[in-house]
């Protein structure tokens, strides 16, 4: 039941407990209680809206930054990750296996703003060995949703 | 000039759906709930394989029976899902959709004048195909009080010395009815007693919502040797346009079906056959996802009909609802026409699926929840108007 609720909310966080109850063959009370529990347990961490900022007037630049770091004794990567994710302009921080350690996703208004963050805040952190910054040119698909897909129903309207 | 038209074709009744199609095609802003095919795209892995097979230049005929590799995947799949075994080489044939298999089965098995039992409401092809094969179709009217299931008594009552084939169309289009184990066993007993063959059209087998797996009459002891099992890729894998189906059955019948198929069709589309291998091998997860989405919509519509006070038995298969509109004192054709004109919602009159479908309409839920919500709002308004008008 939990997973099914989460799947529905992940696709459409505006769905009400009453609507979910109908789809899953349950009752509004049960669903509402389950959602509340999952919020308390931090399984549901928030309700976001997926925005294609490119279509708005707002100038937003997204950068992927590969960061190599020296893990600190006793703390591993958690300490340095925390120092990075506390910056509000940082959208995501992942610990990665492979050629580098942390993947940082950053949003800024201008190229300058992003490069300023990298050079003055990120690179200067003690444990950071090196960074490589990639700017995102176009988002095709995010969180499972394809941005520019308008689908026309091409089926014949009536068929046996 | 002589009349170019042959009697048999001329006397076939055209499908009752055609008229609706013509009206809908002329209108804008129609929400159609009249479609009999999935709204999902074919899973990407399958489409990708189709593209790859074209890139590889696999553009030739396959053997008449179809790719050996695909027939093996099919018999493996039938084994996995039903626990029944077929020989991929002698007891399996790949067809152009399940529809072709229906046609072939009749043509391979019928002698002129043989009777074919056709439970209705059901898919529109059985009767015409039987007639074209020089059989006499005998209709069995299914009843809502039986949840539109076929009962052994009904079969027994329709049997004459000329009866050769029983068509078993479950999960059912248009009612959504499914047969339980005990229903199948009872029907099987009658078939064995009277030496009747079964053409079991199980094209919706992957779309059942009972929480249990679909059951087939071939699972009943003694039935595999007298049943042609028909299935295909259209509904389960959202592959309607690929035109690919198959059938499994006794080698002697499959041999004759293959002969007719060879002369009429040659082979099923090669590209589709390669893609279908991937469907059976890798796409069970996608099917599960689609089934869950259909089930949610099914529950949504049941809930909406309940709110409207529109009586509808709970269907456990396919992707159709079959609510009763008897309270309005209109034929299902009138109801559907008025609904279309007044609210621009297209549904299919139950009578298009046989006389026993009169008094019902078929509503497909192969649509997004958003479309269904919109359509239910309009239907609700229409019904309120009708009820207000009657007072």
- CATH at residue B299: 3.90.1150.10
- The CATH number corresponding to A53-138 among 3.40.50.10420, 3.30.499.10, 3.30.390.50, 3.30.70.920 equals 3.30.70.920
Total number of domains in chain B: 2
Report, as an integer, the average pLDDT of A136-152.
84
Q: Which of B212, B276, B215 is nearest to B244 (CA)?
A: B276
- On whether both B271 and B292 belong to a single domain, the answer is no
Q: Which of B11, B19, B31 is nearest to B332 (CA)?
A: B19
Alpha-carbon distance A151 to nearest alpha carbon in chain B (angstroms) = 10
- DSSP secondary structure string for all residues of B317-379: BTTEE--B-GGGTS-HHHHHHHHHHHH-EE-EEGGGG-GGGTTBEEEE--S-HHHHHHHHHHH
- On whether both B262 and B131 belong to a single domain, the answer is yes
Q: How confident is the model at residue A58 (pLDDT cuts 50, 70, 90)?
A: confident
Surface-to-core class of residue B208, CB atoms within 10 Å of its CB (0-12 exposed, 13-18 middle, 19+ buried):
buried
Q: Which of B258, B282, B306 is the last residue of a domain?
A: B282
Helices (H), B60-142: 68-82, 97-109, 126-132
For chains A and B, CB pairs below 8 A equal 52
pLDDT at B391: 62
- On whether both B115 and B249 belong to a single domain, the answer is yes
| Integer Cα distance of B351 and B22 in angstroms | 17
Q: Which of B259, B282, B305 is the last residue of a domain?
A: B282
- On whether both B87 and B196 belong to a single domain, the answer is yes
Domain assignment of residue B104, yes or no: yes
Helix or strand or coil: residue A3? helix
Alpha-carbon distance B379 to nearest alpha carbon in chain A (angstroms) = 17
- On whether both B374 and B267 belong to a single domain, the answer is no
Domain assignment of residue B32, yes or no: yes
- On whether both B273 and B300 belong to a single domain, the answer is no
Cβ count within 10 A of residue A85: 14
- DSSP secondary structure string for all residues of B130-188: HHHTT-EEEEEE--GGGTTPPPHHHHHHH--TTEEEEEE--SPTTT-----HHHHHHHH
Residues B85-108 have pLDDT tens digits of 999 999 999 999 999 999 999 999
Residues A88-127 have pLDDT tens digits of 999 999 999 999 999 999 998 888 999 999 999 999 998 9
- On whether both B220 and B289 belong to a single domain, the answer is no
Report, as an integer, the average pLDDT of A44-61.
87
Alpha-carbon distance A2 to nearest alpha carbon in chain B (angstroms) = 14
Residues of A in contact with B346 (CB under 8 A): 157-158
Residues of B in contact with A25 (CB under 8 A): 299
Helix or strand or coil: residue A113? helix
Q: What is the ipTM, given to two decimal places?
A: 0.81
Domain assignment of residue B201, yes or no: yes
Q: How confident is the model at residue A154 (pLDDT cuts 50, 70, 90)?
A: confident
Alpha-carbon distance A4 to nearest alpha carbon in chain B (angstroms) = 9
Q: How confident is the model at residue A44 (pLDDT cuts 50, 70, 90)?
A: very high
- On whether both B36 and B63 belong to a single domain, the answer is no
| Integer Cα distance of A63 and A122 in angstroms | 13
Instruction: Check if the beta carbon of residue B347 is closer than 8 Å to that of residue B363.
Output: yes
- Residue A118 DSSP one-character state: I
Q: Just give the CATH number of A2-40.
A: 1.10.10.10
| Integer Cα distance of B110 and B95 in angstroms | 19
Domain assignment of residue B73, yes or no: yes
Using a pLDDT cut of 90, give the percent of chain B over it. 95
Q: Which of B252, B282, B312 is the last residue of a domain?
A: B282
What are the residue boundaries of the structural domains of chain A, listed by start?
2-40, 53-138
> Tokens in use for B69?
């590799």
Q: At what angle do helices B332-343 and B17-26 cross, to 10 degrees?
A: 10
Q: What is the separation, in whole angstroms, between the first and last Cα of chain A?
A: 35
pLDDT at position A132 over 90: yes
Q: Mark yes or no for CB contact A159/B299 under 8 Å.
A: no
Q: Which domain holds residue B174?
A: 57-282
Could you tell me which residue, B380 or A156, shows the higher pLDDT?
A: B380
Closest CB from B24, B123, B299 relative to A22: B299
B360: β partners:
B324
pLDDT at position A150 over 80: no
Cβ count within 10 A of residue A37: 12
Domain assignment of residue B1, yes or no: no
Chain B residues with CB under 8 Å of a chain A CB are: 15, 17, 20-21, 24-25, 30, 32, 34-37, 39, 123-125, 173, 292, 296-297, 299-300, 303, 346, 348, 352-353, 369
Closest CB from B32, B303, B348 relative to A22: B303
Residue B129's CATH number: 3.40.640.10
Q: What does the pLDDT profile of chain B (391 residues) look like in tens digits? A: 999 999 999 999 888 777 778 888 888 889 999 999 999 999 999 999 999 999 999 999 999 999 999 999 999 999 999 999 999 999 999 999 999 999 999 999 999 999 999 999 999 999 999 999 999 999 999 999 999 999 999 999 999 999 999 999 999 999 999 999 999 999 999 999 999 999 999 999 999 999 999 999 999 999 999 999 999 999 999 999 999 999 999 999 999 999 999 999 999 999 999 999 999 999 999 999 999 999 999 999 999 999 999 999 999 999 999 999 999 999 999 999 999 999 999 999 999 999 999 999 999 999 999 999 999 999 999 999 999 987 6
> Nearest residue of B to residue A154 by CA position?
B39
Q: What is the 3-state secondary structure (H, E, C) of B272-313?
A: HHHHHHHHHHHCHHHHHHHHHHHHHHHHHHHHHHHHHCCCCC
Domain assignment of residue B51, yes or no: no
- On whether both B352 and B211 belong to a single domain, the answer is no
């Amino acid at each position: 039941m939990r997973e099914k609720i989460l799947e529905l909310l992940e696709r459409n966080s505006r769905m009400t407990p009453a609507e979910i109850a109908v789809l899953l063959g349950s009752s509004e009370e049960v669903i509402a209680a389950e959602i509340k529990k999952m919020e308390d347990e931090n399984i549901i961490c928030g309700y976001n809206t997926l925005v294609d900022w490119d279509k708005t007037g707002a100038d937003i630049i997204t950068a992927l930054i590969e960061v190599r770091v020296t893990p600190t004794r006793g703390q591993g990567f958690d300490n340095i990750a925390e120092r990075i994710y506390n910056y509000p302009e940082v959208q995501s921080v992942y610990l990665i296996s492979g050629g580098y350690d942390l993947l940082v996703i950053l949003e800024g208004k201008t190229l300058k703003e992003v490069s300023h963050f990298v050079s003055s805040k990120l690179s200067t952190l003690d444990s950071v060995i090196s960074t490589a910054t990639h700017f995102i040119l176009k988002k095709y698909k995010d969180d499972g949703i394809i941005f520019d897909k308008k689908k026309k129903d091409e089926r014949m309207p009536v068929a046996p | 000039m002589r009349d170019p038209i042959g009697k048999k074709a001329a006397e076939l009744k055209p499908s009752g759906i055609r008229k609706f199609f013509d009206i809908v095609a002329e209108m804008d802003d129609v929400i159609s709930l009249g479609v009999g095919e999935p709204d999902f795209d074919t899973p990407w892995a399958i489409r990708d394989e189709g593209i790859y097979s074209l890139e590889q230049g696999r553009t030739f005929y396959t053997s008449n029976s179809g790719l050996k590799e695909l027939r093996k995947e099919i018999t493996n799949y039938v084994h996995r899902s039903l626990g029944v075994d077929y020989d991929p080489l002698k007891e399996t044939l790949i067809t152009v959709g399940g529809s072709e298999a229906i046609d072939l089965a009749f043509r391979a098995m019928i002698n002129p004048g043989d009777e074919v039992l056709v439970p209705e409401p059901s898919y529109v092809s059985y009767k015409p195909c039987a007639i074209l094969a020089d059989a006499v179709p005998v209709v069995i009217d299914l009843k809502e009080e039986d949840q539109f299931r076929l009962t052994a008594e009904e079969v027994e009552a329709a049997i004459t010395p000329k009866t050769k084939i029983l068509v078993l169309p479950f999960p059912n289009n248009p009612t959504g009815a499914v047969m339980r184990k005990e229903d199948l066993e009872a029907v099987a007993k009658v078939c064995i007693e009277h030496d009747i063959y079964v053409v079991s059209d199980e094209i919706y087998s992957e779309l059942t919502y009972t929480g249990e797996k679909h059951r087939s009459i071939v699972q009943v002891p003694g039935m595999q040797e007298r049943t042609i099992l028909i299935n295909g890729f259209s509904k389960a894998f959202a592959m309607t346009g690929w035109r690919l189906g198959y059938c499994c059955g006794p080698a002697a019948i499959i041999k004759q079906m293959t002969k007719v198929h060879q002369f009429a069709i040659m082979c099923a589309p090669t590209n589709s056959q390669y893609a279908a291998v991937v469907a059976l091998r890798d796409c069970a997860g996608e099917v599960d996802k689609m089934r869950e989405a259909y089930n949610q919509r099914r529950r949504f519509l049941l809930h909406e009909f309940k709110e409207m006070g529109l009586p509808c038995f709970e269907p456990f298969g396919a992707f159709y609802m079959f609510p009763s509109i008897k309270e309005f004192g209109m034929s299902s054709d009138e109801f559907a026409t008025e609904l279309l004109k007044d609210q621009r919602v297209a549904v299919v009159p139950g009578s298009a699926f046989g006389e026993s479908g009169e008094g019902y309409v078929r509503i497909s839920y192969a649509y997004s929840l958003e479309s269904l919500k919109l359509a239910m709002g309009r239907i609700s308004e229409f019904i309120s108007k009708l009820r207000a008008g009657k007072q």
